[in-house]
Amino acid sequence: MKVLIADDSEIMCEHLTDALTGYSDIEIVGRAGDGRQAVESIRKLEPDVVILDIRMQNGNGIEVLEQVKKDKLPPVVIMFTNYPFPQYRKKCAEAGADFFFDKSSESHKVIETLETLAGKFKRPGGKETGAKKLTE
């Protein structure tokens, strides 16, 4: 499963990359540090899953989410943020986010979700996962 990390925090990108390095079925195909880079990288690299921060330069994560979810085969998007406010959660759900996690207390859930997706991911023709979706 191909994963792209879009976050302006180099520390967070390193943390996620380190946490996922040992998984043979998860490949980090790219990283993006701002919104514009994220959209370009998602469309060029065609990851199966994107871990996306909300607050970034040159287009925030919600704008990125809205753009890529219009693509023919959009990736699964995991919103991963320090801003877990209900209004952001709602906006992300409306824009098509598949998952939404708080960086300060739910980083383990991102890893668990990726493990589940790697074991059950199907593409094209839909995504079947055992992980709890944002809309459930």
Using the predicted structure, report yes or no on whether residue 50 has a pLDDT greater than 90. yes
Of the candidate ranges 4-13, 41-50, 113-122, the one whose mean pLDDT is the lowest: 113-122
Is the distance from CB of 53 to CB of 36 less than 8 angstroms? no
Q: Phi and psi of 97, rounded to 5°? A: -60, 140
Mean pLDDT along residues 77-100? 96
* CATH node for 2-120: 3.40.50.2300
> For the chain, which residues make up each domain, given as ranges?
2-120
Higher pLDDT, 53 or 24: 53
Q: Distance (Å, rounded) from C-alpha 80 to C-alpha 7?
A: 9
Q: What is the pLDDT of residue 59?
A: 84
Tell me what the pLDDT averaged over the chain comes to: 89
Q: What is the pLDDT of residue 121?
A: 63
pLDDT band at 133 (very low <50, low <70, confident <90, very high): low
Mean pLDDT along residues 19-48? 94
Burial 53-80 (b: 16+ CB within 10 A, else e): bbebeebbbbbbbbbbeeeeebbbbbbb
Q: Phi and psi of 115, rounded to 5°? A: -60, -45
Using the predicted structure, report yes or no on whether residue 81 has a pLDDT greater than 90. yes
Under DSSP, the state recorded for 40 is H
Mean pLDDT along residues 42-59? 95
Using the predicted structure, report yes or no on whether residue 126 has a pLDDT greater than 50. no
Q: What is the pLDDT of residue 11?
A: 92
Using the predicted structure, report yes or no on whether residue 36 has a pLDDT greater than 80. yes
Mean pLDDT along residues 71-82? 95
